[in-house]
Structure 1
């Protein structure tokens, strides 16, 4: 590329090796030591060592179970050993995908009893998460549990205690916390790139029936093909309802709605970037705007949380938003707002725009000085000009910057890589039971706030309701 072309692009491709990155514990090259530029590309060169073989079981082979398994099998040395699901059609689908000899069952306890399974993915409906996790740990299995880690807040300490008791690896499935994009945002925030944090606006909107969980219900759905009795074993008895079975997120009896599905992504990402233990106060409101499909959890929901001043971060306010009929067409962004700029985190693209106040206080313009007597205006103008220099009155400038992950980067595979590395090497996972609970509890408290119409008080250090 010639010099003219280089100048016209105004782009500087900053190559940052992340070979040693594990849960962003090792920082990227320091921002302060690098030349500022309009755009930089994060390169990722993580080498995956193939250690001992890990045999994997899957409990819950729905949408997320399919995605999780496909990502897990991209990590070398991982093999599928069995699948459990309550719907016969998904058992058939599993054999079509992975071979007719694949071990399958509709009873998760039978899968846990197998000695040839080292680890399990738990991707069931929410009400079963804690129970199956504890059973799996007790059987000596490592656990990858989908978010939210628990269905009820009081289940959190039990899961944490079980993980400590049995000493197995547990990682919660909010895969974004393993991304190199969030790792870069975390570093820039800590480096003061946007000044002192004071607010976070987090949005996860959708605009489709599938986005609102109106998944296709199979023609043969009934109480026998869906093993309804086992499905409701952990809940109050109910008559068979195909919607509750296949659209379970929309029903509070078995799911946790937008709070447990999408608020929790925004919370886990925010907590990772800010090193936060969580909020102190939680309030949420919601409404039924479009999807009048029998659901009892809203399709539009907002939350407001207050985070206290701690050694890890200054006090800030977090707003959460999910809109299933958003005219934007859908969007996912966490915007961190500081005293010197904003950082937008959209997937693995991080953009920073700066706005820095001058050292001198404001004077003149949209100000009350023009309402004073003319002689006083002139005297005060002279005083102001004598006290503050031209440089002190100007807004400092700082070049905006964009970071992008390379094409083809997959944070989901990274998340599973951390999980399997922890099993093989004893390293730490990015989202253990404590981290997972500190994200789940405020999300679930949003449902409590919505139904009870009150502010929820939370102790983020001791992880309990006040």
Structure 2
């Protein structure tokens, strides 16, 4: 990779503070009377730092490997140097897509040994993440590792240490962490737009066989075509099972289920917005509702986490939900609930709604007042009327706002741009090993809680089980 310290590099602009009005046909004062909230488009200009060549290798060329590579190659100056996968059909697919001259292998160490590869994208099954990440850093490669960063909590410490010692860029891949919408939500929360935060409700539902990980299994799947012996090197020995290879997320032997797949997106996003270091207690429960296909990790799962008072935020409770047979048709939303309103983060768009308390306390209506004697009611009514004005008894109003990302915006592209900018210019990444572990550990603790039916206690500052 070339080094270029030119001062002429363009800055990566995310001017989320400035917005432009879309629904502005009427004065702002009339928006409270309209059914539609004021809409604002987040101003955004895509920029790149230098386009010095960065050559990458992909380890794990399944669904996410394809998506990650496709996005990475949209960043100027990024070139593909090799692909590793255990399934022979994906090796053939790699050559068909990128040419017969492309270096391909079934052993990831072959990629790490190549001096012409600057960085690797780790897109394998969860059980392999830590081992490959540590090996890659030891070989001097920059690392983009798909979430969850680790398969087991105890793997997080050596990965963080390896990333720190290596001096190389290490970024975890989670949805939305580089989103301009999430950055705007963070800004609004910090500004007190919804008062004091007290709860976060995070949901990621699906309703499809593909969404439930029932991916198509090729007709030629066998222990030989999948290099099964190598596949299980990082886990317990077991007989060939095509489902465990191609539907691996659903099996605890090699994957981490909805907790490691989707809870972790919700945790990463909520931690970014709140600035939190993590929860102090974790409890999770789940069930098998529909996808009874041999999987041993549930298709419906909920979690409850308590976040303590901290320098970053007041105490709040977080609820997590994944439902793979949801009659909603599927939904992804993080709702931040404060004392004066809510922020709904849906994809890269956010909706702010306000509900403010009146200055005066409640009196009358569904109240104990009517149970008192007539004389007492009249006396207390007179005292209340004398103390509180009509204006003080009314709820203040504040316009709702919808913030939308511009059409065609990709937070996935931003995440990879951040990764390659860090490699080229030394900029900090948005999701380093510590951030990735602070999201992974509570997610993995949800599985532990599900199986043990116990509350898991966690020290979010020291990042240790208690």
TM-score, normalisation: structure 2: 0.93
Partners of 1:47 and 1:207 lie apart in 2 by: 36
1:240 correspondence with 2:229:
no
- Name the residue aligned to 1:119: 119
Partners of 2:422 and 2:11 lie apart in 1 by: 14
CA-based RMSD of the aligned residues comes to 1.4
Cα contact 1:281–1:458 (8 A) shared by 2:
yes
* 1:291-332 per-position Cα deviation (integer Å, ceiling 9, x unaligned): 111000000000000000111111100000000000000000
Cα contact 1:251–1:257 (8 A) shared by 2:
yes
Partners of 1:222 and 1:92 lie apart in 2 by: 16
- Name the residue aligned to 2:259: 259
- Name the residue aligned to 1:198: 198
Partners of 1:301 and 1:133 lie apart in 2 by: 29
Gaps of 5+ in 2: 1-9, 21-27, 32-37
- Name the residue aligned to 2:87: 87
Q: How does 1:155-304 map to 2 (within 5 A)?
A: 155-304=155-304
* 1:153-197 per-position Cα deviation (integer Å, ceiling 9, x unaligned): 001111000001111000000031101110111100111111110
Partners of 2:40 and 2:235 lie apart in 1 by: 50
Cα contact 1:27–1:187 (8 A) shared by 2:
no
- Name the residue aligned to 1:9: none
1:28 correspondence with 2:22:
no
Q: CA deviation at 1:29?
A: 4.1
- Name the residue aligned to 2:313: 313
Range moving further from structure 2, 323-332 or 37-46 = 37-46
Q: Secondary structure at the match of 1:447?
A: helix
- Name the residue aligned to 1:439: 439
Partners of 1:84 and 1:21 lie apart in 2 by: 31
Cα contact 2:72–2:78 (8 A) shared by 1:
yes
TM-score, normalisation: structure 1: 0.93
Q: How does 1:336-351 map to 2 (within 5 A)?
A: 336-351=336-351
Gaps of 5+ in 1: 1-18
Cα contact 1:354–1:399 (8 A) shared by 2:
yes
Runs of 4+ in structure 1 over 3 Å off: 19-22
- Name the residue aligned to 2:107: 107
Partners of 1:331 and 1:259 lie apart in 2 by: 16
- Name the residue aligned to 2:142: 142
Q: Secondary structure at the match of 1:92?
A: helix
1:179–1:446 distance in 2 versus 1, CA, 3 Å? same
Partners of 1:220 and 1:449 lie apart in 2 by: 38
Q: Secondary structure at the match of 1:252?
A: coil
Partners of 1:314 and 1:359 lie apart in 2 by: 23
- Name the residue aligned to 1:51: 51
Q: Secondary structure at the match of 1:286?
A: strand
Partners of 1:358 and 1:41 lie apart in 2 by: 31
Cα contact 1:280–1:460 (8 A) shared by 2:
yes
* 1:81-120 per-position Cα deviation (integer Å, ceiling 9, x unaligned): 0000000000000111111100000000011000000000
Partners of 1:166 and 1:319 lie apart in 2 by: 36
